[in-house]
Structure 1
Amino acid sequence: MSVTCFIRYQIDPFQREAFRRYAEAWGRIIPRCGGNLLGYFLPHEGSNHIAWGLVGFDDLAAYERYRAVLRNDPEGRANFELAQTQRFILREERSWLEDVAGTVHQARQVAP
């Protein structure tokens, strides 16, 4: 059963660019450590303080392997430390979702 970690961030809207750099770093770190990065998302319209991150795994055992690799990744540790030092993340919530087969990673169909 594939699962996705759905991360909801409450960010400091005045440090939006700091969060962007943090998210961009995960774009390198997560795949290297074994996660399937579905994306990070900044607020665009409406609320200016909620951001999202989605990371997929084949199963919870794959997530545990990822976490073990991540703990030893120097860039990953530095990115966590950056967020703690600069305090641009005010709150973080994680939900685990079961992927619905046939709906994840579907390519856009272009009409003829």
Structure 2
Amino acid sequence: MTMITCFIRYRIDPFQREAFQTYAENWGRIIPRCGGHLLGYFLPHEGTNDIAWGLIGFDSLAAYERYRARLRSDADGRANFAFAQEKRFILRETRSFVTTVAGTFCLPPQMAA
């Protein structure tokens, strides 16, 4: 079965990086409970300082829709959305849905002898 990944690109206020980190850490508890396979949130490290990502996997788009419904009814999820709105550290958010190319995902490094 091919997993569908929701690839979320955030433009964040670089002066509120810690607030975004708290937001992402909160999703670490909420997303799995609501049915998403959290692949991770990523903060800028070097280079551009205002782009962050979140990746969440689903078995299908129907599974994503069920997840979204559960997320809307989850008290912690609603509180985390409210936290982001109150602090205004997310300047822009876009979502894309991608599938994994077979034979390319999570390959371990192969060290030369």
Letter in 1 for 2:64: Y
CA distance in 2: counterparts of 1:22 and 1:85, whole angstroms? 12
RMSD, aligned α-carbons: 1.5
CA distance in 1: counterparts of 2:28 and 2:17, whole angstroms? 17
> Which residue of structure 2 aligns with residue 43 of structure 1?
44
> Which residue of structure 2 aligns with residue 79 of structure 1?
80
> Which residue of structure 1 aligns with residue 14 of structure 2?
13
CA distance in 2: counterparts of 1:33 and 1:110, whole angstroms? 36
State the Cα deviation string for residues 43-88 of structure 1 (Å, max 9, x = none).
0000110000000100101101111111110000000000001000
Letter in 1 for 2:71: L
**For residues 84 and 49 of structure 1, do their structure 2 counterparts lie closer, same or farther at Cα, with a shift above 3 Å needed?**
same
Normalised to the residue count of structure 2, the TM-score between the two structures is 0.91
**For residues 47 and 109 of structure 1, do their structure 2 counterparts lie closer, same or farther at Cα, with a shift above 3 Å needed?**
closer
Letter in 2 for 1:94: R
Normalised to the residue count of structure 1, the TM-score between the two structures is 0.92
Q: What number of residue pairs does the alignment pair up?
A: 111
> Which residue of structure 2 aligns with residue 57 of structure 1?
58
> Which residue of structure 1 aligns with residue 67 of structure 2?
66
Which SS does the other structure have where 1:100 is aligned? coil
Q: For residue 98 of structure 1, report the CA deviation from its aligned partner.
A: 1.6
Unpaired runs of at least 5, structure 2: none
